[in-house]
Amino acid sequence: MTFVLRTADPTNARSITARAQIFSDRFARDLPDVPCITAPDAVDPTQVRYLLTWDAPPDLDRYTGLEVLFSIGAGVDQLDLDAVPPHVAVVRMIEPGLVATMQEYATMAVLMLHRELPRYLEQQRAGQWNNHPVRPARGRRVGVLGLGMLGQAVLASLAPFGFELAGWSRSAKQVDGVRCLHGEAALPGFLAETDILICLLPLVESTAKILDADLFAALPRGAGLVHVGRGGHLDQAALLEALDSGHLAGAVLDVTDPEPLPADDPLWHHPRVVLTPHVAGATQAETAADAVIANIRRIQAGERPEGLVDRALGY
């Protein structure tokens, strides 16, 4: 059996080469009975049992013995699941490096909005020296859309600051120290009591463009948005209208649709938007390799891998 690491990003060749070497070294050390191939054309595709990739390759049908398709990312919305044979398990990335970087970014973004950094940056550009009342963290309500692994991790990283924390998910969840709500009926009430909203939902048909005018209107005036889900969650025109009207005080966006944004997109220069190029949660090669190896061992032992995707739900 063979493991293949497939990458296709010519703009980041140095990073890909380094990542491939790390995977090769880890497999040779910890799972020597499973050859790690980083050049897909150098292996008989019928011998490949495990494939790690960002998107499904167009020649996926060549891998007739494929058992597991591993996603490099925490989500699988970039994969065409219909193109993956039903017998092939799809596993999303769950690894501590990605979780830690998401916690760092989300904490940074929440604190930026909590301490009104977009407003102060706007003043700086205008040469204005005005201070504003400081609101204590215990008086700020932070809500997370999506209570999966990343959502719960972000809430844990915010807890020490004293924010009032809440989370919403489609199905019922319980998280210590967090007010948890679930289902469509509970969403309006959740939004009405959220001062800073963090989107960490999976992107599926039911969540596409969920960050729309109705959702923004349901938030209290002066609320902020941290968007670290997927670009397809956001109605960008609705966000701009909510910011320009003053209903939203600011937004930190790590994902957009498309990526990158066109040069003339107004989000680039909006005074109340902080924009980053999809860097919030970054898979770390060392810990990712360890996570994949651990999952292959689980699979070989007849156990369920961590991050197994439910095809019916899409995540």
Same domain membership, residue 158 and residue 255: yes
Catalytic one among 49, 179, 182, 278?
A: 278
Same domain membership, residue 161 and residue 44: no
Establish if 306 belongs to a structural domain.
no
For 223, phi then psi, to 5°, come to -70, 165
Establish if 308 belongs to a structural domain.
no
Asked whether residue 11 carries a pLDDT value surpassing 50, the answer given is no
230 assigned to active site: yes
Asked whether residue 191 carries a pLDDT value surpassing 90, the answer given is yes
What's the domain count of the chain? 2
Catalytic one among 6, 114, 227, 230?
A: 230
Same domain membership, residue 112 and residue 83: no
Same domain membership, residue 107 and residue 75: no
270 assigned to active site: no
Element (H, E) at 290: helix 285-300
Least confident residue range of 24-33, 71-80, 206-215: 71-80
Asked whether residue 165 carries a pLDDT value surpassing 70, the answer given is yes
Same domain membership, residue 120 and residue 25: no
Establish if 259 belongs to a structural domain.
yes
Same domain membership, residue 291 and residue 268: no
Establish if 250 belongs to a structural domain.
yes
Q: Look at the alpha carbons of 231, 235, 238, 240 in this order and tell me if their dihedral is positive or negative.
A: positive
Same domain membership, residue 103 and residue 246: yes
pLDDT band at 305 (very low <50, low <70, confident <90, very high): very high
Question: For 291-304, how does the pLDDT look when each residue is reduced to its tens digit (9 = 90+)?
Answer: 999 999 999 999 99
Q: Look at the alpha carbons of 188, 189, 192, 194 in this order and tell me if their dihedral is positive or negative.
A: negative
Question: For 81-136, how does the pLDDT look when each residue is reduced to its tens digit (9 = 90+)?
Answer: 999 999 999 999 999 999 999 999 999 999 999 999 999 999 999 999 999 999 99
Give residue for tokens 């020490």.
160
Establish if 313 belongs to a structural domain.
no
Structure confidence at residue 56 (pLDDT): 85
Asked whether residue 208 carries a pLDDT value surpassing 60, the answer given is yes
Question: For 59-85, how does the pLDDT look when each residue is reduced to its tens digit (9 = 90+)?
Answer: 899 999 999 999 998 999 999 999 999
Asked whether residue 170 carries a pLDDT value surpassing 90, the answer given is yes
Task: Give the angle subtended at the CA of 105 by the CAs of 113 and 228, to the nearest 5°.
Answer: 85
Domain hosting 177: range is 97-275
